Amino acid sequence: MNADVDVRVGRKIGDFFLQRLKDAKQRLWVMSPWVAAEYMDLVVSKKATGVDARVITTNSYVSGQKEALRRLIEGRTSITKPENRNLMYVGIGLIIIGLILGIYTKGVGFLLSIVGIVLYRVGMERKEKYWVSKLGDGNVKVFEYHPYHIVHAKIYVADDWVIMGSANFTENGMRESIEGIVIMQSAELATRVGEMMGGIKNDLNLRELSYDIVGKELDKPDLKSGRYKRHSTHRKHYY
């Protein structure tokens, strides 16, 4: 296997390979424990042009991670039970009759009102919220953050280019921190690395989270869970 190899170390490491990601025509695969919203917008935009776009990351909610995941996963609503207006009208009627009768016979009026409320609620439309990946089912993989079993690799595959190193797909990783990367061009290597990226789901120490689990967390205004706060210093160091 022959590959063109380049090594870079320093700040603004993204200057050496971000353009290759933007120019991807066939595939753009990203593995990074922490990602930034602006770069997820890039991945989603590539998907819209027909590129095979995939992201592997974690649910470690450091600054920016939650918003980045919102760019990858969106909530939708499905009707689980259609509205039954006839039943609702009957319910409203019984409520009105119950209120009128309640003036004279409290027991009967109260009972009719209760029955009316129940019928009205039974007749109401039922909706259920669920979450999907903007990159297609299975193309966004979010693994549960654990300080000792973390998806910590930073790998980028753009067509025949493979970039590996220390840089997270965040503003700090791309611009601010001193990072090191290896840039390689090889169709064979890109295919092999892509296969390995897809195979990490078989690791017994990793737990892949469903979109519904992630989506419900994203709907919360602020994550208060102590298990994430406990490792906040550790997470910030790597972000």
- Separation of alpha carbons 42 and 22, rounded Å: 7
Residue-wise pLDDT tens digits, 14-32: 999 999 999 999 999 999 9
- Separation of alpha carbons 145 and 143, rounded Å: 6
> What confidence category does residue 229 fall into, taking pLDDT thresholds of 50, 70 and 90?
very low
Reading the block at residue 91, the tokens are 């319910």
- For residue 231, what pLDDT is reported? 39
Sheet holding 154-158, edge to edge: 4-10, 179-185, 161-165, 154-158, 27-31, 52-58, 140-143, 208-209
- For residue 239, what pLDDT is reported? 63
DSSP per position, 102-136: TTT-HHHHHHHHHHHHHHHHHHS-EEEEEEEETT-
Within the chain, residue ranges assigned H as helices are 18-22, 37-48, 65-72, 85-101, 106-123, 171, 187-199, 211-219, 226-229, 232-238
State the average pLDDT for the chain: 86
pTM score of the predicted model? 0.76
Residue-wise pLDDT tens digits, 159-214: 999 999 999 999 999 999 999 999 999 999 999 999 999 888 777 678 999 999 99
> What confidence category does residue 123 fall into, taking pLDDT thresholds of 50, 70 and 90?
confident
Reading the block at residue 207, the tokens are 């737990």
